[in-house]
Amino acid sequence: MVRKIMDKNRKNIVIIGGGFAGLQLAKDLKKSNYNVTLIDKNNYHTFQPLLYQVATGGLRVDSIAYPLRKVFRGASNIRFVMDEVLEIDTLRNNVTTKNNIIPFDYLVIATGSGVNYFKLDDSKNLMMTLKNPQDALKIRSYILQNFEQAYKTDDPAEQEVLMNIAIAGGGPTGVELAGAIAEMKKFIFPKNYPGLDVSKMRIALFEAGPKLLGPMSDGASTKSLQYLQGFGVEVYLNAAVDHYDGDHLKVSNGMEMNTKTLIWTAGVKGVFPDGLDHQDVVKGSRLVVDGYNRVKTYNHIFAVGDVALMASEEYPKGHPMLATVAIQQAQNLAANFKYLDKDKDMTAFEYKDKGTMATIGRNRAVVDLPFWHFQGAFAWYVWIFVHIFSIVGFKNKLSALWDWAYNFFTYDRAVQLIINPFVRPDQASDKKNIEEESLPTRY
């Protein structure tokens, strides 16, 4: 039972997913002539571009997560339901969740993307991913746990496999994560683990394509490569990870590496509930939509953000899976719902490219604006300003700014705690020892 009473004379819009697209759409439909139900399995919105900062101890997790209920306080036509959608019934026009059956007149799928392991699906339990706050906290704990173990052993081979870190995927997440870990190697680990020869730690980034930051300019790609190599990161292009057994990985170019930490950022695919026509699903598990974000087979079901593929002459393979695309599609769809309420024609979506950016450590960033590409310290300050402005919640903005200032002036990391030790499934036998050595569960 969903408790908030809605106006029975209004049509019902159900939005699945509280990411960038779902949140923006619900916000833009405040005070509209619709009942809006937003469903998400978590009760918070995550600012995903900064997950790597949580994973490397630069930010607290509550700096990039914001309660969804707090966003919609006082919005009489909006209700939030924390639940997991299991299936969409397109004949009866309702969604089935674990605890409810929720009817809709219009349905919007804003479920985003999940991890695509490609041919390494059998090894997915051995790898780390970075799609949500839980992933970020697991990475942070696991890296610190491995260093604690390396500190206690005199076996060079064991130290090597514990300290080495491999990252698969040279997109923004992989590049930014590699830069942040390299800063930890330079400034944090030598101070925290005296006597441990951190110089022997290897950080390797593997990209299957010919350049880093594929969608960005050649200048941004070249500069990011220079920045990473200047930090001591080993970067391998045209090199896909072919095999990983939890301790040892093999790469398509013949290279091999010993490491217990492989962080997978190499691929994504759309995720959405069961129930839709299979002909609407294309490669990458994305839903084919028209210029108004309507799912191909239906007039009353829409998809926005990463899960939607809107092919056009300019974007024959669909728009890039970026937050700016998701937000703009949501804004356009909200306007179209208001047009529909007034029996007016809808407006087709047009993407306005506002640019992309990535940071590779302090004073090192690359920015591609539509008519201006630049790198370096100024780009880094632009990156900070844009991300502080984009974080949801004033308190979160201040918290992130404070942690970044602390990191900048002290050459340290704000959060270096192993709160909930992470145990890989294949290492479950070691769980008891790890738990006994971990810190108490309190901040």
The answer to whether residues 310 and 318 touch, using CB atoms and an 8 Å cutoff, is yes
Look up 176 and say whether it is catalytic: yes
Q: Is 354 helix (H, G, I), strand (E, B) or coil?
A: coil
Q: Give first-to-last CA distance, the chain, whole Å.
A: 36
How far apart CA 332 and CA 314 sit, in angstroms, is 18
How far apart CA 79 and CA 19 sit, in angstroms, is 16
Tokens encoding 304: 């926005």
Read off the DSSP letter of residue 92: T
How far apart CA 426 and CA 126 sit, in angstroms, is 7
333 class by beta-carbon count within 10 Å (0-12 exposed, 13-18 middle, 19+ buried)? buried
How far apart CA 243 and CA 336 sit, in angstroms, is 47
The answer to whether residues 103 and 81 touch, using CB atoms and an 8 Å cutoff, is no
Catalytic residue among 148, 160, 176, 350: 176
What's the maximum distance between 2 C-alpha atoms anywhere in the chain? 74
Which positions are catalytic? 176
